[in-house]
Structure 1
Amino acid sequence: MKIAVIAGENEKEELLANGVMANTEILWINSPEKVPADCDCCIDLLFSNDPVRIQALSSLKNPLVIVNAVTNTLAGFPGHFIRINGWPSFLKRDTIEASCTLESMKVIAEEIFACFNKKISWTPDTPGFVSARIISTIINEAYLAWGEEVSTKAEIDTAMKSGTNYPYGPFEWSDKIGLALVYHLLKTLSEKNKRYEPAEKLTKEVFTL
């Protein structure tokens, strides 16, 4: 299996967290223009939802293109595109959330991620998948509590880790993911459901970073 991966050092480390199966050739590159035509798949972990990037990926000759697109859905994308939850701290998990529009792509994608000793959990093609939406909601609630001076950030993080056995508290998680990513997902979700409206403190922090 020959796989081209567009990634930075952090994405590379998380993707390789479970090792790589034998007979897997990985090409680490930094742009779609460098993807060889003979690769079985291109994984773009640095994907941005802009027309130039999408056009470059769409023009590839590879049978499967996998993009790290947590907020954006596959609407308007070619059928051989699959989106995954590649947010920081999620990519290193044993199971990766993914969505696709063509059933025939699922088997290929599962074979690709098996090369990294990972499984795929197929979810509906909606913003945030499942886990990113839940974690973003928890982070938002933590900012609401902090804004109401219920407790400090450190105390909320400690309480969450102790009470839920999560690996990180909500503020720690927002630092790892990137608060701007959380904000944009919440804003997208709030277009259909106002309960996802970003907390005032969260919004202020994003725009003062």
Structure 2
Amino acid sequence: MTIAILADDTLKNEWLQHQFPESISFIWADSMSSLTMLDADAYVDLLFRNDPERNQHLARMLPKPVIVNAVEFTTEEIRHPFVRINGWPTLLQRSIAEIVLPASITENSIKEIFTALNWQYQLAPDVPGMITARVLAMIINEAYFTLGAEVSSREEIDTAMKLGTNYPMGPFEWSEKIGLQRVYALLQQLHLTDERYAPAPALKAAIQ
């Protein structure tokens, strides 16, 4: 099986943390145009942006599986039968991939790919943030509310979360790895339908 992937160095390194079988070949693209020119059994866009032009390029690869790193956008918003994967930095290297299937794609088609990759997956609801990203976004947002209220410092909050909850990273450390702009974009999307996800003023200030 040959899989063509568009990624930056960070996400490429995380992808390669997995012990993939030797029967799998990866072709790494450096642009959307080069990705569309490759002959592969499946295509992965880890630098996905939900814009019509990009989606049209990706749609050319259909009906072969097209997997996109679309954490905040639902398949309805994307308007193409692409498989969503949670490819936020630090989350892509997990032993279980979090994915969302569009209504027109059966699980058998994507199961074949992940079985070949020897990579477990978990189906998530077709909502912004899936499961893990929305939980992380809320934790990071609450940390910024706490920071804005001058309850504690960034370093102290990170230390408290690592020691008190056994998190691998504190919320501020995690937000730096993920990219605060990604977290903010997801919070904005979630806030459209749920007031609980209103971005903290300190978080807004941090990205300006």
Q: TM-score scaled to structure 1, two decimals?
A: 0.93
Q: SS at 2:26's partner residue?
A: strand
Q: CA deviation at 1:193?
A: 0.8
2:129 is matched with which residue? 128
1:193 is matched with which residue? 194
1:98 is matched with which residue? 99
1:81-124: per-residue Cα shift (whole Å, max 9, x none)?
A: 10111000000000111111246442232332344432111011
2:2 is matched with which residue? 2
Q: Distance between the aligned counterparts of 2:142 and 2:79, measured in 1?
A: 33
2:166 is matched with which residue? 165
1:146 aligns with 2:147: yes
Comparing 81-90 and 68-77, the one that deviates more: 68-77
Q: Distance between the aligned counterparts of 2:201 and 2:38, measured in 1?
A: 47
Q: 1:150 to 1:162 in 2, by over 3 A?
A: same
Q: 1:61 to 1:132 in 2, by over 3 A?
A: closer
Q: Distance between the aligned counterparts of 2:129 and 2:165, measured in 1?
A: 21
Comparing 123-132 and 30-39, the one that deviates more: 30-39
2:119 is matched with which residue? 118
State the identity as a percent: 44
2:30 is matched with which residue? 30
1:78 is matched with which residue? 80
Contact 1:20/1:117, CA 8 A, preserved across alignment:
yes
Q: 1:59 to 1:72 in 2, by over 3 A?
A: same
**Which residue identity does 1:71 align to in structure 2?**
E
Q: Distance between the aligned counterparts of 1:73 and 1:147, measured in 2?
A: 31
Which ranges of structure 2 fall in alignment gaps of 5 or more residues? none
Q: SS at 2:75's partner residue?
A: coil
Q: Distance between the aligned counterparts of 1:155 and 1:37, measured in 2?
A: 48
1:13 is matched with which residue? 13
2:70 is matched with which residue? 69
Q: Distance between the aligned counterparts of 2:104 and 2:156, measured in 1?
A: 45
Q: 1:17 to 1:115 in 2, by over 3 A?
A: farther
**Which residue identity does 1:177 align to in structure 2?**
I
Number of residues paired by the alignment?
A: 206
Which ranges of structure 1 fall in alignment gaps of 5 or more residues? none
Contact 1:95/1:121, CA 8 A, preserved across alignment:
yes
Q: CA deviation at 1:137?
A: 0.1
Q: TM-score scaled to structure 2, two decimals?
A: 0.93
Contact 1:40/1:62, CA 8 A, preserved across alignment:
no
Comparing 102-111 and 17-26, the one that deviates more: 102-111
1:51 is matched with which residue? 52
Comparing 63-72 and 25-34, the one that deviates more: 25-34
